[in-house]
Amino acid sequence: MNKTFSIAIDGPAGAGKSSVAKALAAQLGAMYLDTGAMYRAFGLAMLRAGVDIHDHDAVAAHADSVVIDVDYVDGGQRICLAGKDVTDAIRTPQVSEAASAISAVAEVRRRMVALQQQIARGHNVIMDGRDIGTAVLPDATLKVYLTASALERARRRCLELEQKGTPQPLEQVLAEIEARDYRDTHREASPLVVAPGAVTVDTSDMDMEQSVAALMALAADAGIHR
């Protein structure tokens, strides 16, 4: 019988979690789940429905009715809201804000965690997010807290935005990252913390290749192989 493995990668916005997790999933032949995309889809649903994203009760009232599906097309994750693909629509600053706000609502988290556990069941899986090692996969084979300085994360985000043709000033991106860090670490429901048993990897001075190599080495140490 093949024993399944799971890798939990948590950390602040812009630490490179999704790029590292995707590369790791490809090398280890595992499923990758970007849980942030699910909170983003929920946030987008609230914006579209005209719900005040800072009104906890109003957001909580929708926790069980928003229909979110995750599909895999050509090895890439697609996220659907009420059957419509919103993979690209969730990558805007407004949706980042909305996702951060609605992710503080316990009822939304309960629903998302249940969905994520259901998607992962029976698979070798690598998930990234904020509460994977603490709530979604508390028994993960390997837990990593991937981080980098706020300035370095802002620089990386600026580069991405520039490449997308939507450049923004570094000071603004840094301020947004710091505000989101604060909210994600200070909320009452599953705040971002270093999960018990997690290994912290600071990628401030690492490029993508070095970050992936560092995590592949940790995976091998944990007995995880393709």
Binding residues for ligand DC (CB under 6 A) = 13, 35-36, 39-40, 99-100, 103, 129-132, 180, 184
Report the Cα 113 to chain-centroid distance in Å.
Answer: 12
Please report how close the Cβ of residue 225 comes to ligand DC at its closest, in angstroms: 26
Please report how close the Cβ of residue 131 comes to ligand DC at its closest, in angstroms: 5
- Which is closer to ligand DC, CB of 22 or CB of 40? 40
Phi, psi of 210 (to 5 degrees): -70, -35
- Which is closer to ligand DC, CB of 30 or CB of 129? 129
Q: Which of 111, 99, 101, 160 is nearest to 136 (CA)?
A: 111
- Which is closer to ligand DC, CB of 131 or CB of 152? 131
Cross-strand partners of 129: 10
Please report how close the Cβ of residue 178 comes to ligand DC at its closest, in angstroms: 12
Q: Which of 216, 166, 222 is nearest to 25 (CA)?
A: 216
- Which is closer to ligand DC, CB of 36 or CB of 111? 36
- Which is closer to ligand DC, CB of 71 or CB of 221? 71
174: enclosing H helix or E strand:
helix 170-186
Please report how close the Cβ of residue 190 comes to ligand DC at its closest, in angstroms: 7
Q: Which of 151, 191, 147, 156 is nearest to 175 (CA)?
A: 151
Distance CA 146, CA 7 (A): 12
Place of tokens 């990558």: 91
Please report how close the Cβ of residue 8 comes to ligand DC at its closest, in angstroms: 10
Distance CA 140, CA 6 (A): 5
